[in-house]
Amino acid sequence: MEPAGNWCLIESDPGVFTELIKKFGVKGVQVEEMWTIDDGIFDNLRPVHGLIFLFKYLQHEEPSNAIVTDNRLEKIYFAKQVINNACATQAVVSLLLNCNHPDVYLGPELTKLKEFSMSFNPKMRGLTLSNSDTIRSAHNSMSQPTLFEFDPKLVTKEEDAFHFIGYMPINGRLYELDGLRNGPIDHGPIAAEQDWLDVVRPIILKRIKTYLDDEIHFNLMALVSDRKMVYERQIYELTDVSQICRMDTEDVENEIRRLQMLIEFEDTKMMRYQQELARRRHNYLPFIITLLQILAEEKKLLPLYEKAKERALKKEAKKIKA
């Protein structure tokens, strides 16, 4: 059995997060990467249940709004992060356990976790989550193989720390779910006629602007309903409505063909996710060693080294001239 504190780092990638959610036993949702947060970007992804934001962690950063510590915590699932490297899983689990959309099926593991720990305080919820063998195993199954062991005493450069948080609407208000805080951050009410994504957009943009223009220290992903499931439902509704209302057959057929193409695209995308995950976890070291041995036997290593050295010197000379 793995120790409770042994959690790996997870890459900010929609395929990784989608596969992670599946390993939790959750159905009906997937994760999509957002390349921009401009108006209309979410139109083809609705319903959007929450946003996962990765950013460069800045110590002593003050919360932008009030932290909830009152009895609202009895209805909001918020778990305080009590161990390192768990923020990716905590962010997505927090979104899932606060989502009441009919598309989302939590599955037995997360349902049991919520029922068991909902009456706990945030720290106890964090301890419960971190001690779940199923969730920890799913999380660690996303890790890349470690090919070499490094002595931490030899590492002198201080590396940047990155952190995952979630944003989502809960009971008519927008909340920021950051496991390093003592509670969810309340960003205020969402009016009945308002789209919650319009409320969260300026908050995220303001956070992004805290970094220098030449730095990229953030990534945004959306937790959305399973796209294939949504398209299949639309086909069913089109077929049913066209029979009742006698809609134009050609228009219906064209729309169904378009939706079928989108379904095929989703199937291809999920297959690609599986392949990329397998490649991330594959150990390429034996192949590299064998290739180097063959190159050495054929006396091709030194010429390759000389060519690489020559290219590096040319590149350095161009930098000096510039």
Q: Encode pLDDT of 162-210 as tens digits.
A: 899 999 999 999 999 999 999 999 999 999 999 999 999 999 998 888 7
Listing DSSP states for 217-260 in one string gives: -EEEEEEEE-HHHHHHHHHHHHHHHHHHHT--HHHHHHHHHHHH
Confidence of residue 305 (pLDDT cuts 50, 70, 90): confident
163 catalytic per annotation: yes
Q: How far apart are CA 181 and CA 195, in angstroms?
A: 26
What CA–CA distances, in Å, run from 197 to 21, 106, 184? 22, 23, 18
The structure's pTM equals 0.82
Considering only CA atoms, which of 200, 160, 169, 164 is closest in space to residue 180?
164
How confident is the model at residue 197, as a pLDDT? 95
Q: How far apart are CA 206 and CA 25, in angstroms?
A: 35
Helical (H) or strand (E) element with 269: helix 249-281
User: What's the length of the chain?
Assistant: 322
Which of 5-9, 84-88, 111-115, 218-222 bottoms out in mean pLDDT, i.e. has the lowest?
5-9
Catalytic residue among 8, 49, 163, 187: 163
Per-residue pLDDT, averaged over 3-10, amounts to: 74
Task: Report the percentage of the chain scoring pLDDT > 70.
Answer: 86
How confident is the model at residue 6, as a pLDDT? 81
Task: Report the percentage of the chain scoring pLDDT > 90.
Answer: 54
Does residue 71 have a pLDDT over 60?
yes
Which of 28-32, 73-77, 156-160, 275-279 bottoms out in mean pLDDT, i.e. has the lowest?
156-160
What CA–CA distances, in Å, run from 260 to 153, 227, 266, 267? 56, 12, 10, 11
Bridge partners for 53 per DSSP: 165, 220
Q: How far apart are CA 77 and CA 286, in angstroms?
A: 45
Q: How far apart are CA 98 and CA 111, in angstroms?
A: 11
Residues contacting residue 206 through CB under 8 Å, at least 6 positions apart: 64
Does residue 265 have a pLDDT over 50?
yes
Considering only CA atoms, which of 174, 223, 179 is closest in space to residue 201?
174
Confidence of residue 320 (pLDDT cuts 50, 70, 90): low
The DSSP letter of residue 44 is T
Mean pLDDT estimate for the chain? 86
Looking at per-residue pLDDT, the higher value among 14 and 248 belongs to: 14
CATH topology of domain 14-145+152-225: Ubiquitin C-terminal Hydrolase UCH-l3 (3.40.532)
Per-residue pLDDT, averaged over 69-82, amounts to: 93
Token look-up 């499931």 returns: 229
Q: Where are the domains of the chain?
A: 14-145+152-225, 228-281, 290-321
Judged by phi (left if over 0) then psi (alpha if -120 to 50, else beta), residue 246 lies in left
Q: How many CB atoms lie within 10 A of CB 255?
A: 15
How confident is the model at residue 91, as a pLDDT? 95
Does residue 156 have a pLDDT over 60?
no
User: Tens of pLDDT along 111-152?
Assistant: 999 999 999 999 999 999 999 999 999 999 887 655 444 444
Catalytic residue among 87, 99, 139, 187: 87
Confidence of residue 308 (pLDDT cuts 50, 70, 90): confident
Looking at per-residue pLDDT, the higher value among 8 and 150 belongs to: 8
Considering only CA atoms, which of 9, 63, 54 is closest in space to residue 162?
54
